[in-house]
Amino acid sequence: MTPIRKIFIANRGEIAVRIIKTARLMGIETVIGVSEADRDSLGARLADKAICLGPAPSAQSYLNVDLILHAALATGCDAIHPGYGFLSENRALAQGCLDYDLIFIGPTPDNLDAVGDKLTARTHAIASLVPIVPGDTIDTAEDAQAIADRIGFPLLIKAVAGGGGKGMRRVDHPHELSQSITLAMAEATASFGDGRVYVERLVEQGRHIEVQIISDGDTILHAHERECSLQRRYQKVVEEAPAPNLDPLLRDQIHAAALQFARHIGYVSLGTVEFLVDVKRGEFYFLEMNARVQVEHPVTEEITGLDLIQLQINIAQGIDLKLSQSDITVTGHAIECRINAEDSDNNFMPSPGRITTAWFPPMAGLRIDTHVQSNSMIVPNYDSMIAKMIVHRPTRDAAITTLARQLATCRLDGITTNIPLHQRIMTWDAFQSARFDTNSLQRFLDSAETRT
């Protein structure tokens, strides 16, 4: 494969800036496709060339495959980096790159198919002997009884056609099962026109733990795990690596399962296998695989010393990994806070606008991945993340201390941010003692609301 000389960046925000950083280190030119709203963004100013794809709405700019392919080809790029979100896991873009001799800096179209929808991914998990949440589809209340005998209570009944929490029903006791199934089926028929339901184990206390995969197709490695349980409405708020308070044996099993899944689907590139860890049972289940670089990749980079974007680019241009598993070791602890332009004291209302002053005072172990500077405009068209505050220190406690200091000292004037929320998290005992699950942050927010 020919070496990459010019990358087209089909993304915006901090990840565009992050890609430019590594491209510059590697001596690769960059062209960024931006929307009208991002003409003046930091990414547009840092790239060797910026070209306007279309108006601010993503559908007419960042999500238009043809515009991006055309712009990449016409500007003489030999590769496209899709970043995360937008078209990063879009099969049409990956296939379009293949068709027009562009290098897609990501996995193959077949890889995207394998993990693109949850049901297919689940089938691959079963085939690769990676554990999934125990459960099955049912036709009758008797079927449900048989499953309940096998997996125990509490249970969750889900509508097959449902999604986003709709059509879900919790069952705590055996005697409620039959009636709940009948009700759930009736509800599913009424809501979705499809009465099929699915019964699975309800994980009451779950942790979201994910494993970073790096694969050139032959050498498949993991770069350890990240703990991402602190979420609000399925959006991660704080991530860290390595996962604290995780049984070493369980940790090894999770790493092995992630490798097993990636190997089974012939995965190539950077990817992340997500698991739900059942705290009470000490078991873990496959959730999904993300076939892209993740927002929270910096915590992995900090503890391993790897440049994941560089590895991703090198894999894409056909350079074999020169690493072995024993080369990837963990040093210290890293935590990332996602700083969003939203009002955490007012129902997380987005607060776009102009940042008058942006200042992140230097501190040992601090890394700020951002696209904002003083006088930057936060446009309302896209997600509200404006910076990732990452701290890498020898211990978790030291990392929390530095983050708390940074949060208290930094300045992001002109807009409202969720910095006050992060400050509360840093002093929250459940966070400090690393005893939290995927429901903890919501409970913490609810209790804070009742207090005020």
Partner 1 sequence: MTSLSRDEINYILELVQKSDFDELKLEMGDLKLALSKTGGTAPAATPTPAGDVVTPATAAPTTPKAPISSDAGTAVPAPLLGTFYHAPKPGADPFVQVGDVITETSIIGIIEVMKLMNQVQSGVAGTVVEITAPNGELVEHGQTLIRVQP
Minimum CB separation of residue 100 from partner 1 in Å reads 9
398 near partner 1, judged by CB under 8 A: no
CA gap 179, 181 in Å, rounded? 5
Half-sphere exposure of 32 (CA within 13 A, CB side): 27
Q: Tell me: cis bond preceding 242? Omega within 30 of 0 counts.
A: yes
328 near partner 1, judged by CB under 8 A: no
Q: Residues touching partner 1: how many (CB under 8 A)?
A: 15
Nearer to partner 1 by Cβ, of 77 and 410: the residue is: 77
In 10 A of CB 251, how many CB atoms?
18
Query: In which residue are the tokens 């056909």 written?
Result: 318
Minimum CB separation of residue 81 from partner 1 in Å reads 18
**Interface segment toward partner 1; rule CB under 8 A; list 19-27, 48-56, 264-272, 427-435:** 48-56
Minimum CB separation of residue 5 from partner 1 in Å reads 18
Binding mask 2-41 for partner 1 (x = CB under 8 A): -------------------------------x--x-----
Nearer to partner 1 by Cβ, of 75 and 205: the residue is: 75
56 near partner 1, judged by CB under 8 A: no
In 10 A of CB 329, how many CB atoms?
10
Active site includes 424?
no
Tell me the one-letter amino acid at 388. K
Nearer to partner 1 by Cβ, of 36 and 194: the residue is: 36
Exactly one of 6, 45, 67, 205 binds partner 1 (CB under 8 A); that residue is 67
66 near partner 1, judged by CB under 8 A: yes
**Interface segment toward partner 1; rule CB under 8 A; list 63-71, 177-185, 293-301, 364-372:** 63-71
55 near partner 1, judged by CB under 8 A: yes
**Distance set, CA 155 to CA 199, 233, 421 (Å):** 7, 21, 33
The catalytic position among 12, 201, 251, 292 is: 292
Which helix (H) or strand (E) segment holds residue 34: the answer is: strand 29-35
Q: What angle do CA 390, 391, 393 make, to 5 degrees?
A: 155
Minimum CB separation of residue 66 from partner 1 in Å reads 4
Q: What angle do CA 15, 17, 19 make, to 5 degrees?
A: 70
Q: What angle do CA 212, 124, 109 make, to 5 degrees?
A: 70
CA gap 131, 140 in Å, rounded? 25
Contact yes or no for 11/34 (Cβ under 8 A): no
97 near partner 1, judged by CB under 8 A: no
Minimum CB separation of residue 68 from partner 1 in Å reads 9
Exactly one of 51, 330, 398, 448 binds partner 1 (CB under 8 A); that residue is 51
71 near partner 1, judged by CB under 8 A: yes
Exactly one of 24, 48, 54, 430 binds partner 1 (CB under 8 A); that residue is 54
Minimum CB separation of residue 60 from partner 1 in Å reads 8
Which helix (H) or strand (E) segment holds residue 357: the answer is: strand 357-359
Query: In which residue are the tokens 């209340």 written?
Result: 141
Tell me the one-letter amino acid at 81. H
Contact yes or no for 69/93 (Cβ under 8 A): yes
Exactly one of 69, 157, 211, 268 binds partner 1 (CB under 8 A); that residue is 69
Over the Cα atoms of the chain, what is R_g? 23
Q: Where are the beta strands (DSSP E) in 143-268?
A: 155-163, 166-171, 197-201, 206-215, 220-232, 235-241
Contact yes or no for 79/105 (Cβ under 8 A): yes
Nearer to partner 1 by Cβ, of 50 and 339: the residue is: 50
Exactly one of 6, 21, 70, 232 binds partner 1 (CB under 8 A); that residue is 70
Nearer to partner 1 by Cβ, of 69 and 341: the residue is: 69
Q: Using CB under 8 A, list all residues that contact partner 1.
A: 33, 36, 51-55, 61, 66-67, 69-71, 74-75
Catalytic residue positions? 292
